[in-house]
Chains A and B, each alone.
Chain A
């Protein structure tokens, strides 16, 4: 075994001399630069997230990622930042159906909230982006969003009075596509929301955290009549699959099929978390439901019978009390401590 591993190492060195420069960088990093390690605080009831190994967390990196997230320098005309579509007071979602990018261009999907991203298995509503770091490139390049190039962002950061030093400290490295995307990824990992009244009730044994009405709503949510929990399951209220909930008979946005090119995936979207719905209206991939009553109307009517619609969407009747209870329950997933903390992250301190 040992011999073999020595042999492998030698082979590695021989074949791979240019890329070894990177490895020795990494060793240097642990020796030289003093960064402050950071551990994510995982809420009770959540699993341990599997973070990408190429991006060890430290506080300097997170602070850098945060600064970048709020910096309009990333967009072509320096007019918008990530936070222009992902609002801090809205659990990082947008208030309008379709976000406005540079040159007033209109997006094609509703901007989703950003929290508990470390548990996502894929990113975007169609799951087309495999890692959170890779996701960063998309808004920078998208002509309907920041309409810039990664290299242009790097050139601007390089002549900035603060960024070169901040990258050096956080990564012991210069500003590269790799470090740029890892800084933002690190910041996004820290956006964790798991302290709603429901969490306190379910995981922290605080029986009074949920009103009797919300508790009845929770039972409805789990019932065979409504089936909600079949898709919106586990601690983040998603089973991380792609489903068609029958929003349309004909989908303008093919959803998951954009990635798989498979007609059985038309109209399927990643099952979204139902946390913080109180902050994230409008709902669905195109923001077509203005409030939770409209969402419930959709499910109660049993969908528009698209050919890929899940059998779990069969329709149901709710009396007034039950509808009220269900909404009470959904609202118990609002984590106001998360939102009041993230509001403070906004450096411009805009009165919201």
Chain B
């Protein structure tokens, strides 16, 4: 336990050191995630066609985001959170909220995936059951001793006749699949203010994405086989492409 606390301590102290935090002046920053097709908000189970005219349905959509950082107008990083698990509910939504120091921010950065040092840590060390890396989230691959970054599972209907013909399940992982995103902001957080950014997840782009496209019929699963890590990388890049800030 002691080593683990030290690690956490280091992880927590760095943010406080780098971001001039005046504890009294904070506002609430919320990141909302919303599933969409054709720019319309959808529930998670909404059936949509892919480019090959197959109907797809999603049953599980959850992913880790890490090292969430807001950059202030002086260019300084303000660390918001080391790790979160974004679990999209059946309503097609997920939401994260943070108290952040009041100030002007120009950029939001985070990674999709679990950073190396957390990915290699002992998962039983995260013993607070609300911790995003707690084993109750069922995101840990015991045999591979690492986390699944992104779990995307569902069904496909090849003939679009209303009968699902098969299932797909992509559980991505490995350092190669770790990707970063960045958004420009023009955000002034006042004391006791509340600002929400909505991140739309375009469901179709999770599968159709040019060279990164994923064929649910011929490559329906990824379960951590390193030899096929390219599929994991594609799925993660699709997740990145599917995300857009409103």
Contacts and interface: CB of A to CB of B under 8 A. Distances in A.
B122 interface: yes
B125 interface: yes
Interface in B125-158: 125, 127-128, 134-136, 138, 140-145
B138 A149 contact: yes
A11 B13 contact: yes
A12 interface: yes
B124 A178 contact: yes
A54 interface: yes
Interface string A256-276: 001001000000000000000
Interface in B1-56: 1-5, 8-9, 12-13, 16
Contact of A133 (B5, B122, B226): B122
Contacts of A138: 142-143, 145
Contacts, number: 78
A12 B9 contact: yes
Q: How many A residues are at the interface, by size bracket? A: 20 to 34
A23 interface: yes
A141 interface: yes
Contact of B124 (A129, A133, A139): A133
Interface in A45-70: 53-54
A128 B5 contact: no
Given A16-B12, A141-B143, A131 B122 contact: yes
Contacts of B128: 18-19
A137 B140 contact: yes
A142 B124 contact: no
A139 B143 CA distance: 8
A130 interface: yes
B215 interface: no
B120 interface: yes
A178 B226 contact: no
A33 interface: no
A134 B145 contact: yes
A133 B120 CA distance: 14
- 3 residue pairs, one from A and one from B, having the closest CB atoms: A141-B142, A137-B142, A177-B124
B123 interface: yes
B135 A150 contact: yes
Interface string A151-182: 10000000000000000000000001110111
B145 A19 contact: no
A313 interface: no
7 contacts: A19-B5, A130-B145, A142-B143, A151-B138, A178-B1, A178-B125, A258-B226
Contacts of A181: 124
A140 interface: yes
A103 to B, nearest CB: 17
A6 interface: no
Nearest to B130: A18
Interface of B: 1-5, 8-9, 12-13, 16, 120, 122-125, 127-128, 134-136, 138, 140-145, 226
A178 B136 CA distance: 12
Contacts of B12: 15-16
Given A15-B13, A22-B1, A142 B226 contact: no
Contacts of A26: 1
Contacts of B145: 128-130, 134, 138
Given A176-B127, A178-B127, 8 more contacts: A15-B16, A16-B8, A19-B128, A54-B1, A137-B123, A137-B142, A138-B143, A177-B124
Interface of A: 11-12, 15-16, 18-19, 22-23, 26, 53-54, 128-131, 133-134, 137-142, 149-151, 176-178, 180-182, 258, 261
Given A12-B9, A133-B122, A134-B124, A151 B143 contact: no
Contacts of B9: 12, 15-16
Contacts of A129: 145
A177 B127 contact: yes
A16 B5 contact: yes
Contacts of A180: 124
B114 to A, nearest CB: 15
B2 A19 contact: no
Nearest to B126: A177
Contacts of B136: 150-151
B142 A177 contact: no
A26 B5 CA distance: 13
A141 B120 CA distance: 17
A69 B129 CA distance: 24
Contacts of A22: 1, 5, 127
A334 to B, nearest CB: 31
Nearest to B145: A129
Q: Residue among B4, B141, B143, B226 with the most chain A CB within 10 A? A: B143
A131 to B, nearest CB: 6
Nearest to B229: A261
Contacts of B134: 177
Contacts of A141: 140-143
A182 B8 CA distance: 20
Given A128-B145, A130-B145, A138-B143, A176 B124 contact: yes
Interface centre among B1, B4, B136 (most CB of A within 10 A): B1
Contacts of B141: 141
A54 B120 contact: no
B144 A128 contact: yes
Contacts of A137: 123-124, 135, 140, 142
